[in-house]
A = this chain, B = another copy of it.
Amino acid sequence: MPGQKPIKVALLGCGTVGTEVVRLLTDHAADLTARVGAPVELAGIAVRRPNKHREVPAELLTTDAQALVSSPDVDVVVEVIGGIEPTRTLLLQALRAGKSVVTANKALLAEHSGELFEAADGTGADLYFEAAVAGAIPLIRPLRESLAGDRITRVMGIVNGTTNFILSGMDSTGASYGETLEEATRLGYAEADPTADVDGFDAASKAAILASLAFHTRVTAADVHREGIAQVSAADIAAAKGLGRTVKLLAICERVTENGSESVSVRVHPAMIPRTHPLAGVNGAFNAVFVEADAAGEMMFYGKGAGGAPTASAVLGDLVAVARNRVVSGRGPRESAYAALPVRPMGQTPTRYHISLDVADRPGVLSQVAAVFAEHDVSIAAVRQEGRVDDASLVIVTHAATDAALRSTVDKIGGLPVVREVVSVMRVEGEES
């Protein structure tokens, strides 16, 4: 091994994750050499402002990412910059030159994975991305490899820590979305511009990546139905609590079989789940993902979904894998998109709704409301009506119906004269339909 030619690594970006990658590469150098079968050495670190990175060796820093990536010395490119450009161009260049790529860039993968995989395929280079989804939790490798002999039917998880922190907070304090977001920002759990998290963009990118792997189909962020948490009200949370449920932002990837033909539904939206569901207990910044497969049954993966060290752990695991592949002249799994299943529009996706209404407390109200459900062919699973001084609370949980039918039902009910207010509308997941 001391005689073995070192594997040279170009690191693109040196923020929270990059700094941890450098630290782990340095601290665990002897271990990594033994595990890879050759030394793993940094060839350079591309950053925008070298004088801001006093914690890494100055001689490795460069502002010329393009030159670093093109260097014939470099075997592997590790990318932790994020964003689409110039990252996309740099990684395509690396892959086309036969360099392996390890990336944590969910947004890039969710939009351009096809192009990146094709470039990798052209030269036989590896493209690994365990850190792109659910931080340190091994999830990509299990989906891409461990379950490669099975038929995955469903992947459902909490994959965004910021929104989970906010929803956990709203659940425990009863506070509004706005107040809780403010608190999360103050504590550093939400960014100054929280859009990517709270509007579900981050979770949608991850859902696209998970669906692509689970269903051997190229799914991009644009294919994902996306709803954020800004509309979740204290009333929604209270309604969930009253039913023994809690609200989570879920990324859901499902295989839907209808009349013998298969499609996939990929979506991100808040949903009520029973408090007894294993995902209900996942609080704060933790992530957890449920996977269901025909032969394997139900599995759950749980751990830290973000942060410098956990993300760097996932990056290093991939780096060891691609470096090992270099040493033995092997290669890891390629893109597997042969199934090319159609993506089902949200309107045609079967879901279940929980609807909470303020209605007039007089005879015939329930029959009027129930008639609207019947008219839309939506079957009711549970009803709870409670009288108050001069109105009543009516809570309805449906069986599964298409999302379009459920939406039309809610619209029409909202217009009924006997309905004073639609207090809360929320999808229901994690229980038998």
- A interface, CB within 8 angstroms of B: 20, 24, 28, 31-32, 34-35, 124, 130, 136-138, 141-142, 145-151, 216, 278, 281, 293-304, 309-310, 312-321, 324-325, 328-333, 336, 338-339
Contacts and interface: CB of A to CB of B under 8 A. Distances in A.
Number of copies: 2
Contacts of A336: 34-35
B303 A298 contact: yes
A142 B148 contact: no
A148 B34 CA distance: 11
A130 B151 contact: no
Contacts of A331: 328, 330
A35 B215 CA distance: 11
Contacts of A321: 145, 148
A151 B310 CA distance: 12
Nearest to A299: B303
A145 B141 contact: yes
A312 B328 contact: no
Contacts of A317: 145-150
Q: Specify the main secondary structure of chain A where it touches its partner.
A: mixed
A158 to B, nearest CB: 14
Contacts of A281: 278
A264 to B, nearest CB: 15
A296 B303 contact: yes
Given A24-B295, A302-B300, A320 B32 contact: no
A317 B151 CA distance: 11
A293 B338 CA distance: 36
A314 B148 CA distance: 9
Contact of A316 (B31, B295, B324, B332): B295
Given A149-B32, A216-B34, A324-B333, A136 B313 contact: no
B138 A320 contact: no
Contacts of A303: 296-300
A431 B405 CA distance: 49
A146 B338 CA distance: 25
Contacts of A141: 138, 141-142, 145-146
A300 to B, nearest CB: 4
Given A141-B141, A149-B24, A296 B324 contact: no
A148 to B, nearest CB: 4
A7 to B, nearest CB: 13
A145 B312 CA distance: 14
A325 B142 CA distance: 17
A278 B286 CA distance: 13
Given A301-B299, A309-B297, A148 B35 contact: yes
A296 B136 contact: yes
B299 A150 contact: no
